[in-house]
């Protein structure tokens, strides 16, 4: 299956300089990492050597190193160093698969396939990310009530809600058929003195939403005759 477009995979603030994290998108493993200078990268989460997840590795300067045998890759995906063969001029063919990357609206976006222009969004503060064991449609249906919003507008994988705690911009992230992540941001508001109380209220509402959607989904799954979907743990 090929995926095309830009996908929000994390809050920008969740990936700090010099760190890496895994992110699953519709079943595909992606590694997000920031080099020491703070520049973000999105690659296939697979070391070209033996297939170890690069997200288990660690960042050194502007390289990411695989945890397994220590092969290091530069920002362009090219392998730069193989510790077992320190003198070797590493062949150009050893290269990790790289994706488009954008940091916009407080989110990190990966561009896959024919992805076109990167999103260009207004600045926003991070709230939190939640992972929900439920299909994305069940999560979407519950969003307006959970945040006391009258309606929801969708712009691709970005859901916008006007709430009593301000303007919520949520990155929708489908990990698989039964698992959805929400990356919640709150648009900056010139009226704000301190957005912390509003963001705490939104974070709590997101946690409640997760618990309610999961309870409803698992209740439905437990009813005999309801088709049981794949294992999600």
Partner 1 sequence: MSQPLLYDYALDADCYGIRLAAGCLGIELALRSVDVHPGQEQLSPAMLALNPQGRLPVLTDGALTLTQTLSILLYLAESYAPDHPLMPQDALTGARMLDWMSLAAATLAPCAQARACAMMNAPGTLTQLRRDARRALRLFDDHMALQGLRGEGFLAGPEATLADLMLFPAFALTRDYGLDHDAFPALALWARRVRRLPGFHTMPGVPDYH
Tell me which residues touch ligand FES (CB under 6 A). Answer: 47, 49-50, 52, 66, 68-69, 71
Shortest distance, position 203 Cβ to partner 1, whole Å: 6
Residue where the block lists tokens 């941001």 = 185
Check residue 16 for interaction with partner 1 (CB under 8 A): yes
Alpha helices, H only, 63-135:
none
HEC sequence for 123-134: CEEEEEEEEECC
Q: By C-beta, is 44 or 125 nearer to ligand FES?
A: 44
d(CA 179, CA 154): 19
One residue of 49, 58, 80, 160 binding partner 1 per CB under 8 A: 58
Shortest distance, position 199 Cβ to partner 1, whole Å: 5
Strand-pair category, 124-132 with 107-112: unpaired
Residue where the block lists tokens 């193989």 = 82
Q: By C-beta, is 66 or 112 nearer to ligand FES?
A: 66
Q: Which of partner 1, ligand FES, none does 52 bind, CB closer than 5 to 8 A by kind?
A: ligand FES
What token pair was written down for 77? 């995906």
- Distance set, CA 37 to CA 17, 21, 60, 164 (Å): 7, 17, 11, 37
One residue of 12, 23, 107, 161 binding partner 1 per CB under 8 A: 23
Site for partner 1 in 96-135 (CB under 8 A): 127-129, 131
Sequence-distant (≥ 6) Cβ neighbours of residue 132 within 8 angstroms = 139, 179, 180, 181, 182, 209, 210, 213, 214
d(CA 69, CA 160): 44
Site string for partner 1, 158-197 (x = CB under 8 A): --------------------------------------x-
Q: Which of partner 1, ligand FES, none does 139 bind, CB closer than 5 to 8 A by kind?
A: none
Check residue 19 for interaction with partner 1 (CB under 8 A): yes
Binding stretches for partner 1 (CB under 8 A): 10-11, 14, 16, 19, 21-24, 55-58, 65, 67, 127-129, 131, 196, 199-200, 203-204, 207, 231, 233
């Amino acid at each position: 299956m090929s995926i095309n477009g830009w996908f929000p995979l994390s809050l920008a603030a969740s990936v700090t300089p010099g760190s890496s994290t895994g992110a699953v998108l519709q079943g595909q493993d992606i590694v997000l990492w920031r080099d020491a200078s703070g520049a973000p990268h999105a690659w296939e989460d697979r070391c070209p050597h033996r297939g170890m997840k690069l997200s288990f590795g660690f960042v050194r300067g502007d390289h990411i190193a695989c945890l397994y045998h220590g092969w290091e890759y530069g920002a362009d995906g090219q392998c730069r160093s193989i510790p077992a063969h320190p003198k070797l001029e590493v062949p150009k063919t050893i290269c990790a698969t790289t994706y488009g990357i954008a940091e916009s609206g407080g989110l990190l976006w990966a561009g896959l396939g024919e992805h076109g222009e990167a999103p260009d969004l207004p600045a926003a503060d991070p709230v939190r990310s939640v992972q929900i064991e439920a299909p994305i449609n069940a999560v979407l249906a519950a969003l307006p009530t959970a945040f006391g919003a009258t309606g929801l507008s969708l712009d691709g994988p970005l859901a916008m809600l006007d709430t009593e705690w301000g303007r919520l911009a949520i990155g929708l992230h489908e990990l698989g058929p039964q698992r959805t992540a929400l990356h919640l941001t709150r648009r900056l508001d010139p009226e704000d003195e301190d957005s912390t109380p509003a963001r705490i209220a939104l974070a709590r509402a997101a946690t409640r939403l997760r618990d309610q959607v999961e309870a409803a989904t698992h209740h439905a799954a437990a009813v005999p005759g309801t088709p049981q979907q794949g294992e999600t743990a």
